[in-house]
Copies of this chain bind each other. A is one copy, B any other.
Amino acid sequence: MELQKITHAARRRYEDACGAAHALDLVGERWALLVIRELMLGPKRFSDIRAGLPGISANVLTQRLEGLEAAGVLARKRLPPPASAQVYELTPWGYESEPIFQALGRWAARSPSHDPSLPLSAVSLLLSFRTMFDPERARDLDARIGLRLGEESFLVRIADGRIRAVRGAAAGTDLVLTGEAPAVAAAVYGGQSLAALEAAGALRVEGDRALAERFVTLFPLPPKVA
């Protein structure tokens, strides 16, 4: 009895050598993978993580951060005195989990029940660009695009049939899109025209408009099943 309790207290794990099972021991709890997702483009503070995760409660986020830190997926960092704030940052190995998101995302995009019109965090959108980018459609394209999504700014560089998307100020770019992440998603994945989104005040397009029209075609979704 007592022994059973102690054995169980060691947090429910699959006792399985299978790599996937071990991965789930590490990041299989509810919210854990989405917390990692929010950190995938760079360190964030507690509240900023929360902002990208509608529905998570503070205590659960605290628990996940503790668990992920213990697993070696992320580390707490205190920024130097001027901006004395605490941030959470993925370890190098933590950053290596991106293929997991790509595999999950690609697979789920074909789900009959996937609803792309739900809210979307800025990081999700940028990661989806890295996942869904089609080199064929970007052939001979060389462009710098700035995205201002709410509070966050990102820089997307497309060249040589590859895409790079990082956090950073949208300066010195050929094009800047400003709006909330769901508005940009509506243009790229929802088939809504840039003109309509601009007219509705959901999006602002500055710079090379032809580039903007092409940009939104670079990320084709796989065909839905059934």
| A residues adjacent to B (C-beta < 8 A) | 12, 14-26, 28, 30, 33-34, 37, 54-55, 71-72, 91-93, 96-97, 99-121, 124, 127-128, 131, 182, 185, 225-226
A107 to B108, CA, bound (A): 20
Q: Assess the A114–B18 pair: CB atoms within 8 A.
A: no
Across-interface contacts of A97 in B (CB, < 8 A) = 107
Whether B124 contacts A16 by the Cβ 8 Å rule is yes
Q: State the number of copies, please.
A: 2
Q: CB within 8 A of A182: which of B17, B91, B182?
A: B17
Residue in contact with A18 in the complex, picked from B16, B20, B105, CB distance below 8 Å: B105
With contacts A33-B24, A100-B100 known, is A17 near B119, CB below 8 A?
Answer: yes
- How far, in angstroms, from A207 to B24 measured CA to CA in the complex? 38
Whether the pair B114, A19 counts as a contact (CB closer than 8 A) is: yes
Which of B12, B15, B96, B101 interacts with A110 by CB under 8 Å?
B96
Q: Are A24 and B93 in contact (CB under 8 A)?
A: no
Identify which of B16, B17, B100 contacts A104 (C-beta below 8 A). Answer: B100
Residues of chain B contacted by A120 (CB below 8 angstroms): 16-18
Q: Let me know if B37 and A72 touch, CB within 8 A.
A: no
Instruction: Determine whether the beta carbon of A111 is less than 8 Å from that of B16.
Output: no
Chain B residues, CB < 8 A from A96: 107, 110
CB distance from A101 to the nearest CB of B (A): 5
Q: 5 smallest A-B Cβ distances: which pairs?
A: A19-B105, A23-B108, A18-B124, A23-B104, A17-B118
Which of B19, B119, B226 is within 8 Å of A106, CB to CB? B19
Residue of A33, A102, A107 most packed against chain B (CB within 10 A): A107
- Asked if A26 meets B108 with Cβ closer than 8 Å, knowing A17-B115, A114-B19, A119-B17, the reply is yes
